[in-house]
Homo-oligomer: A and B are copies of this chain.
Amino acid sequence: MNLKTLFNLYENYRMESPFIGTPVELYEPMRYIMELGGKRARPLLSIASALSAGGNIENALPIGHTMEVFHNFTLVHDDILDNARLRRGQPTVHEKWNTPTAILSGDNMLVKAFEYLLAYQGKQKDEILNMFTRTAREVCEGQQMDMEFSQLEDVTEESYLEMIRLKTAVLLGCCAYGGASSAGASHEKAKKYYTFAESLGLAFQLDDDWLDTFGDASKTGKKAGGDIEEGKKTWLYIKAKNKGLQIAQLYATNQSEDRIYHATKLFKNHGLDEELKRLSAFYADKAADILQNLAQMGDKTHYLVELAEMLGKRES
């Protein structure tokens, strides 16, 4: 078995439990978003963590599916918040249907996520429910922080890191926690899995920021500088601002192409590209250390190692 086998097992499980119900217009968007594809990193994290901690796939599948449904709920609502028109190259739910239906279908997916988890019959149910509920709340908090940052002039690096932690990393942590717990791991042990996946998530997000500005377009598949063009407050912007560099003025006075050129140059001149790489590597190393530690204690971490590599393998 390799990661691809686990992926296929999850896809089979997912397709065997589609969203069915009336009114049809409420359930169709729920099926639609779930079928847009993706790496299924969250259920894979749950399954690989379960196997690592000595559990089985069967108990981990409903946990992973809960997390994937929750993740897709956040996509439906976030796309409304961001006025996004496309998701994985297809129309977003509120574009294909309408905003009211997207709000309600999303709400119903959040309810469904709880429904799946409540139906779970395996080990450590209360621990997983508590962690999931806390995580769901934190993801809402992270999304709200993200929205507010776009309006704020001054954001600290610490707040920015906390925002990406809440918006993205905690759910990955919860996936790994739930998987390990389904294998019977104690709260303390499952927290190690949590911190591994949370760190991986932070590394991944910071890498995303780096690639967007400094990535090789021929490898990433998109033009470098998208975040600068949109004037997004990424780690690079915040760090430049907090170093006293004239980044706000540069964003305000330059047009598109000029802005990308000058901002990228400013970031590089002050070594921010290297600094961002180091920060991302710090979290990736932290994740790797935890895995190594778990392996030393006898856990079978090879799927998680493979998964971390797959998630990290993006062209730079």
Q: Which residues of A contact B (CB under 8 A)?
A: 21-23, 25-26, 77, 80-81, 99-101, 103-104, 106-108, 110-112, 114-115, 118, 129-130, 133-134, 136-137, 140-141, 143-145, 147-148
Give the chain B neighbours of A118 by CB distance below 8 A.
129-130, 133
Known: A108-B137, A114-B114, A133-B111. A144 touches B25 (CB 8 A): yes
Name the CB-closest residue of B to A144.
B26
Name the CB-closest residue of B to A163.
B23
Cβ contact of A80, chosen from B103, B112, B130, cutoff 8 A: B103
Cβ contact of A137, chosen from B77, B112, B144, cutoff 8 A: B112
How far is it, in angstroms, between the C-alpha of A106 and the C-alpha of B140 when the chains are bound?
A: 10
How far is it, in angstroms, between the C-alpha of A111 and the C-alpha of B134 when the chains are bound?
A: 9
How far is it, in angstroms, between the C-alpha of A227 and the C-alpha of B140 when the chains are bound?
A: 36
- 7 A-B pairs with the lowest CB-CB distances in the bound complex, closest first: A26-B144, A108-B140, A81-B100, A111-B136, A115-B133, A23-B144, A111-B137
Known: A77-B107, A100-B147, A115-B133. 4 other contacts (CB 8 A): A21-B137, A101-B147, A108-B140, A115-B137
Name the CB-closest residue of B to A134.
B115
Please list 21 pairs of residues, one from A and one from B, whose beta carbons are closer than 8 Å in the complex, sorted by A's number: A21-B137, A21-B141, A22-B141, A23-B144, A23-B148, A77-B104, A77-B107, A81-B100, A81-B104, A101-B144, A101-B147, A103-B103, A104-B140, A104-B143, A107-B107, A107-B110, A108-B140, A110-B110, A111-B137, A114-B136, A115-B137
Report the minimal beta-carbon distance from A82 to chain B, rounded to whole angstroms.
9
Cβ contact of A141, chosen from B23, B114, B136, B143, cutoff 8 A: B23
How far is it, in angstroms, between the C-alpha of A25 and the C-alpha of B147 when the chains are bound?
A: 10
> A100 to B80, Cβ gap below 8 A?
yes
Give the chain B neighbours of A143 by CB distance below 8 A.
104
Name the CB-closest residue of B to A136.
B111
Known: A141-B22, A144-B25, A148-B25. A103 touches B77 (CB 8 A): yes
Report the minimal beta-carbon distance from A217 to chain B, rounded to whole angstroms.
31
Report the minimal beta-carbon distance from A125 to chain B, rounded to whole angstroms.
10
How far is it, in angstroms, between the C-alpha of A112 and the C-alpha of B108 when the chains are bound?
A: 15
> A133 to B114, Cβ gap below 8 A?
yes
Report the minimal beta-carbon distance from A158 to chain B, rounded to whole angstroms.
13
Most B Cβ at <10 Å: residue of A21, A108, A110, A114: A114
Name the CB-closest residue of B to A137.
B111
Give the chain B neighbours of A145 by CB distance below 8 A.
23
